[in-house]
Amino acid sequence: MDLYAPDRSPGMKLLLSLLVAAVLTIPLFTVYLLVYDRQSQSETARSSIAEGWGGPQTIAGPLLVIPYAQQMTETVQENGKPVTRSSVQRRQLFIAPDRLKIDTRIKPERRARSIYEAVVYDADISGSASFRLPADTARIVDVASLEFDKAELRFGVADPRGLKPANRIVIDGQPLTAQPGNGLAATGGSGFFTNLDASALRERTVTAQFTFGLRGHSVVALAPRAGATRWTVTSPWQHPSFTGGFLPESRSVNATGFSATYRISNLALGTTLVTTSDSPVESREAQPSYPARTSAAPAAQAQVGLVQPVDLYSQVNRSVKYGFLFIGFTFMAFLLFDVVAGVRVSAVEYLLVGAGLVLFFVLLLAFAEVIGFTPAYLVAAGGVIALLTAYSAAILGSRRRAGFIAGLLVALYGVLYILLSLEAYSLLIGSLLLFAALAAVMYLTRNLDWGGRVAPPPAA
């Protein structure tokens, strides 16, 4: 089908060029799916790199756990008569620290396999916790039934595979040995513990100091459960992400790394210091209804993520969304040469030019995985501009006209790079660009009769 014909009006040529552009949305959508597929493969590869090192880690505790025996009575019907039975049940009392201080130092490391890269870390965790027997303990359990000599101090770790051999637990100056298992509900029941005699808790505060090493990747989080929690996180990583239900009270991010300090009280958590349940949800007092949280992160956690400085897949994905503008602006230039300057442009030539524009995004994705986004952008844009400029010189019959197409493409790729870099202003810049393009088309076609016939150019 030829867009130029003696009996076709400029309006018909416009409709046919729009039809070709609509056809090109199919390969453009295919490129979008290709980016999504490569991103999924990248995430799988990164998980494989970090496998065996330790997953995204969440730490919780410590909590002091004291067993006790509770006399239970129940009345049942036997032979039509009520019978009362008594039984003794073994239960546990969970006491959260009155004050908790944790210092976490993260040492990140990049690990690569083929073209994929993951960020893993070693975390050195140290802290102190002070425990006291709350005054309202008697409302929950008979204090005389508490077996203080069989108490446990429990720590929660989301992925215990990441625990390092070096650890130290000291209770009132006495070193104790950590044992695997008996974690906390906040970390899915995984973690470690130590046995202790907490009889001193009857009369005074018991203090615990602890240090342990932890390996993981991508994220380190804290599930606080104390009267007052102070969590300090430091790392030489320059691109942290602070998410979760709590944000740091103070933070500093610079070229040497970052530091952040969290301060969280049990009033913000909605939990009591003493409870018969390990579940933070079950230990909460009755609360009024609050609006649903929109964050995907757990509401009762503070999270620090070690994000990659440049997520090339998200940038390529965003650039593909502007592919319609590339096709539209370039076709508009060829259409103006056709209807205003009288240059013959066929449907096949429109289709080949559009294929070159779509190929840019495939080249960008392929090169970005190997050499990074910015160098890949320059290589892909340079190759496509050179190709379409040379082809335009042939179909437009003029190097000057081809130079105009080259200038248009350089401007488009330059503006696109700016849009990708300035995400906050992308909508503003894009709308101004569309306004300027519409104004230019209106001005150049102000005297054009879109419904009239056009005569073919004279024979050479």
Amino acid at position 45, single letter: A
| Domains, the chain, ordered by start | 10-42+312-445 (no CATH), 58-72+89-283+295-306 (2.60.40)
| Region 73-96 average pLDDT | 75
On whether the CB atoms of residues 38 and 361 are closer than 8 A, the answer is no
| Closest among 221, 212, 259 to 238, alpha carbons compared | 259
Distance from C-alpha of 240 to C-alpha of 253, rounded to nearest angstrom: 8
| Region 268-292 average pLDDT | 62
Please, where are the H alpha helices in 293-398? 312-321, 323-339, 347-371, 373-396
Distance from C-alpha of 235 to C-alpha of 252, rounded to nearest angstrom: 11
Cis peptide before 62 (omega within 30 of 0): yes
Distance from C-alpha of 141 to C-alpha of 69, rounded to nearest angstrom: 10
On whether the CB atoms of residues 234 and 104 are closer than 8 A, the answer is yes
What is the structure's pLDDT at 293? 37
**Per-residue confidence band for 444, with pLDDT thresholds at 50, 70 and 90:** low
What is the structure's pLDDT at 230? 95
| Closest among 60, 95, 59 to 205, alpha carbons compared | 95
What is the structure's pLDDT at 307? 78
| Region 36-58 average pLDDT | 79
**Per-residue confidence band for 423, with pLDDT thresholds at 50, 70 and 90:** low
**Per-residue confidence band for 428, with pLDDT thresholds at 50, 70 and 90:** confident
On whether the CB atoms of residues 61 and 225 are closer than 8 A, the answer is yes
pLDDT at 288 over 60: no
**Per-residue confidence band for 299, with pLDDT thresholds at 50, 70 and 90:** low
pLDDT tens sequence across 69-84: 876 666 767 766 776 6
pLDDT tens sequence across 124-138: 999 999 999 888 888
Q: What is the mean pLDDT of the chain?
A: 80
